[in-house]
């Protein structure tokens, strides 16, 4: 089991540590997941997301290696920007991984895959796995930039989906205006040797620590997919409602197969469900219409902001927003409504 450079700091804070994607990571701290979730919505929190991979692709052919493999179009951005994209299977166009590309400078790209998919991404695009050399700390929430700005103003100033360098204790760090919470914020890649002091300084600036439990409920409220749930084997970008990630005027892995699905239409579509009552639906629970199973929950939980159960599920494409369904929660049929996502967003 791999450990973050911040492992000792988490344990000193009383974190509940759990296995996740081959890593031992903090699920929550003493305040608990709901409190950490609300702290992100109301102020600022810091997540250790060092379990995410970093694949560094460099050299004169780096651009073409990514452009010819991934679904989005790097020509739409440039150095100093980040882009969300997909790596597809050639066999069925399912999403092998969803990725953020940090275009650091002309010939350097830091590609950020999900934890358990790093090896496969290296096989697809080349590059060097430099995950072990750094920690990645996500500072998220409406006060994130203000509080981070007291210790690292250059990091706090980075624009949304921009990428920049900053220095911490004489070491070069990279910051991107990205996140996974539906809030404003940044993600900082900090060399492993100085990461504990950066983490401590962020907390001293008034930012609360938060674990992966809150990160999951936050991304669910924001309607953001999780690989292995809303993305993964057998799931294409079109089924997941992420067709905007696909640029049809480029060449990429899986394009021919995906084009067939585009022409014939998807057989299922990812939808949001808002439940009646506080009982949380869970991954794998059946979704029913008139007593017949029409889909399965891919992610579900209690929404701290809405104070009700919410879920995502793949449903037949003809099931539109506003439709009434039920979720089989351990033998109890819980009424729910198909709703647009995100479930919650800042006014």
Mean pLDDT on 130-140: 98
Does a structural domain hold residue 257?
A: no
Does a structural domain hold residue 345?
A: yes
Query: Does one domain contain both 287 and 330?
Result: yes
Helix (H) or strand (E) holding 18: strand 16-20
Does a structural domain hold residue 229?
A: no
Does a structural domain hold residue 239?
A: no
pLDDT at position 304, please? 98
| pLDDT tens for each residue of 151-179 | 999 999 999 999 999 999 999 999 999 99
Res. 115: pLDDT tops 90: no
- Residue whose token pair is 């070069």: 172
For 327, half-sphere exposure in the C-beta direction (CA atoms, 13 angstrom radius) is 31
Query: Does one domain contain both 83 and 16?
Result: no
Query: Does one domain contain both 139 and 36?
Result: yes
Q: What is the DSSP string of 49-68?
A: -TTS--EEEESTTHHHHHHT
Asked whether 309 and 268 are in contact (CB, 8 A), the reply is no
CATH number of the domain at 292, please: 2.40.30.110
Query: Does one domain contain both 41 and 67?
Result: no
Query: Does one domain contain both 164 and 38?
Result: yes
Last residue of a domain, one of 64, 93, 122: 122
| pLDDT tens for each residue of 279-308 | 999 999 999 999 999 999 999 999 999 999
Does a structural domain hold residue 167?
A: yes
For 271, the token pair is 């939808």
Handedness of CA 160, 97, 212, 37 (dihedral sign): positive
| Alpha-carbon separation of residue 37 from 129, 208, 274 (angstroms) | 31, 10, 19
Rg (CA), the chain: 20
Query: Does one domain contain both 92 and 167?
Result: no
pLDDT at position 245, please? 98
Report DSSP state, residue 207: P
CATH number of the domain at 157, please: 3.30.1360.120
Res. 336: pLDDT tops 90: yes
Alpha helices in 270-327 (DSSP H): none
Looking at the structure of the chain, the number of domains it has is: 3
Over 226-239, what HEC string results? Answer: CECCCEECCECCCC
Query: Does one domain contain both 41 and 190?
Result: yes
pLDDT at position 71, please? 98
Query: Does one domain contain both 40 and 136?
Result: yes
| pLDDT tens for each residue of 7-34 | 999 999 999 999 998 999 999 999 999 9
Mean pLDDT on 316-323: 98
CATH number of the domain at 100, please: 3.30.70.1400
Query: Does one domain contain both 179 and 196?
Result: yes
Asked whether 296 and 287 are in contact (CB, 8 A), the reply is yes
Res. 70: pLDDT tops 90: yes
Cα distance between the two ends of the chain:
41
| pLDDT tens for each residue of 240-282 | 999 999 999 999 999 999 999 999 999 999 999 999 999 999 9
Residue 192: closest CA among 136, 108, 114: 136
Does a structural domain hold residue 282?
A: yes
Last residue of a domain, one of 68, 98, 122: 122
Does a structural domain hold residue 246?
A: no
Query: Does one domain contain both 183 and 213?
Result: yes
Strand partners, 99: 85
| pLDDT tens for each residue of 75-107 | 999 999 999 999 999 999 999 999 999 999 999
The C-alpha atoms of residue 201 and residue 207 are separated, in whole angstroms, by 9
Does a structural domain hold residue 137?
A: yes
User: Average pLDDT of the chain?
Assistant: 97
The C-alpha atoms of residue 309 and residue 81 are separated, in whole angstroms, by 36
| pLDDT tens for each residue of 181-201 | 999 999 999 999 999 999 999
Residue 10: closest CA among 181, 192, 210: 210
Last residue of a domain, one of 122, 142, 165: 122
Contacts of 118 (CB under 8 A, 6+ apart): 53, 55, 129, 131
Q: What is the DSSP string of 256-291?
A: HHHHHHHHH--S-EEEEEEESSSPPP-TT-EEEETT
pLDDT at position 347, please? 80
The C-alpha atoms of residue 90 and residue 71 are separated, in whole angstroms, by 12
Identify the domain containing residue 324 by its residue range. 267-347
Query: Does one domain contain both 138 and 31?
Result: yes
Query: Does one domain contain both 99 and 145?
Result: no
Can you tell me whether residue 79 is helix, strand or coil?
A: coil
Asked whether 300 and 259 are in contact (CB, 8 A), the reply is no
Q: What percent of the chain has pLDDT over 70?
A: 100
């Amino acid at each position: 089991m791999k450990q973050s450079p911040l492992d000792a700091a988490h344990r000193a804070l009383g974190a509940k540590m759990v296995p996740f994607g081959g890593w031992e990571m903090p699920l929550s701290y003493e305040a608990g997941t709901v409190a950490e979730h609300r702290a992100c919505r109301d102020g600022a929190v810091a997540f250790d997301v060092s379990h995410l991979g970093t694949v560094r692709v460099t050299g004169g052919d780096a651009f073409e290696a990514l452009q010819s493999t991934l679904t989005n179009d790097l020509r739409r951005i440039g150095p100093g920007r980040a882009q969300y994209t997909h790596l597809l299977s050639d066999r069925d166009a399912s999403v092998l991984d969803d990725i953020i590309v940090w275009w650091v400078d002309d010939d350097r790209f830091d590609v950020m895959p999900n934890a358990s998919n790093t090896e496969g991404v290296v096989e697809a695009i080349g590059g060097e796995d430099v995950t072990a050399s750094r920690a990645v700390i996500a500072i998220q929430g409406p006060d994130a930039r203000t509080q981070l700005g007291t210790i690292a103003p250059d990091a706090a100033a980075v624009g949304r989906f921009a990428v920049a360098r900053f220095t911490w204790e004489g070491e070069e760090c990279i910051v991107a205006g990205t996140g996974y919470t539906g809030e404003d914020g940044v993600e900082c890649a900090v060399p492993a040797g100085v990461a504990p002091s950066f983490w401590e300084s962020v907390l001293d600036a008034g930012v609360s620590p938060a674990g992966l439990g809150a990160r999951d409920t936050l991304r669910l409220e924001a309607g953001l997919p999780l690989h292995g749930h809303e993305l993964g084997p057998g799931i294409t970008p079109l089924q997941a409602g992420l067709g905007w990630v696909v640029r049809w005027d480029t060449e990429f892995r899986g394009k021919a197969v995906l084009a067939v699905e585009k022409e014939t239409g998807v057989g299922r579509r990812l939808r949001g469900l808002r439940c009646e009552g506080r009982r949380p639906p869970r991954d794998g629970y059946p979704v029913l219409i008139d007593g017949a199973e029409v889909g399965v929950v891919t992610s579900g939980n209690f929404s701290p902001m809405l104070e009700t159960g919410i879920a995502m599920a793949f449903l037949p494409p003809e099931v539109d927003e506003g439709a009434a369904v039920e979720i089989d929660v351990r033998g109890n049929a819980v009424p729910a409504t198909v709703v647009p996502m995100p479930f919650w967003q800042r006014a």
